[in-house]
């Protein structure tokens, strides 16, 4: 699996070389769904919750733990970058994505962790555990994610442009990981979850692309190189995200082949 930790060599000091409801977190419990979710998200999460349980391999269990950490990384990182660059109006993109999507995504993974009684660490699972208390902002249960968070944050602190580029990197990496996880499971509830998370990453990619262009980076995420340069066909945004602006995207990559 192409995991986020493989990005570490791509980050260097000084330069880069190369949808849903809101909420602020919840206890690790599936008894209710957050009332702040929009209707579409609520329906998807309810389906994930109620699909039949299926046997999980050790790899699938690890993937759920990893994805919880990865979604938390995006949420915590974006909140931190929003705070660092709060004087810039464009920095609202970080807070919007963290509060309206990444929080929901983390909670969505918790639905399956609870459903299958999986702990994110070596502590035995128990239903009423509050993961937000055990793992406050910038603290993760997997060492590789902890290391990656520090690398990404340090890169994002260089400049606003670098921070927005870090957003592009995070979302492309999430999509790569999710694509591989979808291919490597036949569990309907896991596939539904991963597709839900992937759609959010599609939307976030275009949000960071627009933000970069708004500060004068003409090529947006494509300025990072071919690996991070996507088309609408590759990363189709939801209808709601498309309303946010999709001008000049369709030929987004043609000048960089």
Q: CA triplet 46, 128, 23: central angle to 5 degrees?
A: 50
Dihedral, CA atoms, 236, 74, 97, 138, nearest 10 degrees?
Answer: 180
Short-list 195, 19, 179, 29, CA closest to 112: 29
Q: Which domain holds residue 127?
A: 4-21+37-256
Structurally, the chain folds into a number of domains equal to: 1
Look up the pTM and report it: 0.82
Q: Can you tell me the distance from the alpha carbon of 65 to that of 177, in angstroms, rounded to the nearest whole number?
A: 13
Is residue 26 domain-resident? Answer: no
Is residue 27 domain-resident? Answer: no
Instruction: Spell out the per-residue pLDDT of the chain, length 257, in tens.
Output: 445 544 543 443 333 322 333 333 333 433 345 545 678 888 888 999 899 999 999 999 999 999 999 999 999 999 999 999 999 999 999 999 999 888 889 999 999 999 999 999 999 999 999 999 999 999 999 999 999 999 999 999 999 999 999 999 999 999 999 999 999 999 999 999 999 999 999 999 999 999 999 999 999 999 999 999 999 999 999 876 565 554 444 444 444 44
Q: Can you tell me the distance from the alpha carbon of 192 to that of 141, in angstroms, rounded to the nearest whole number?
A: 24
Is residue 131 domain-resident? Answer: yes
**CATH number of the domain bearing residue 225:** 1.20.1260.10
Is residue 32 domain-resident? Answer: no
Is residue 30 domain-resident? Answer: no
């Amino acid at each position: 699996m192409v995991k986020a930790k493989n990005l570490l060599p791509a980050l260097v000091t000084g330069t880069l070389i190369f949808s849903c409801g809101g909420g602020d977190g919840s206890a690790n419990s599936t008894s209710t769904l957050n009332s702040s979710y929009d209707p579409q998200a609520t329906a998807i999460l309810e389906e994930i919750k109620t699909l039949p349980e299926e046997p999980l391999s050790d790899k699938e269990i690890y993937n759920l733990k990893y994805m919880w950490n990865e979604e938390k990384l995006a949420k915590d990182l974006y909140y931190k970058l929003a705070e660092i660059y709060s004087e810039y109006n464009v920095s609202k993109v970080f807070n919007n994505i963290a509060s309206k999507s990444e929080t929901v995504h983390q909670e969505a993974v918790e639905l399956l962790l609870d459903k299958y009684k999986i702990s994110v660490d070596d502590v035995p699972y128990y239903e009423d555990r509050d993961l937000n208390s055990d793992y406050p902002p910038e603290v993760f249960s997997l060492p590789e994610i902890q290391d990656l968070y520090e690398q990404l944050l340090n890169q994002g602190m260089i400049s606003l442009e670098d921070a927005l580029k870090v957003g592009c990197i995070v979302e492309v990496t999430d999509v790569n990981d999710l694509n591989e996880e979808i291919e490597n499971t036949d569990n309907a509830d896991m596939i539904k979850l991963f597709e839900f998370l992937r759609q959010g990453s599609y939307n976030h990619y275009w949000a960071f692309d627009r933000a970069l262009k708004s500060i004068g980076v003409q090529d947006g995420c494509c300025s990072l190189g071919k690996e991070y340069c996507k088309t609408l066909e590759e990363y189709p945004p939801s209808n709601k995200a498309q309303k946010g602006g999709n001008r000049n995207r369709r030929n987004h990559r043609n000048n960089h082949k």
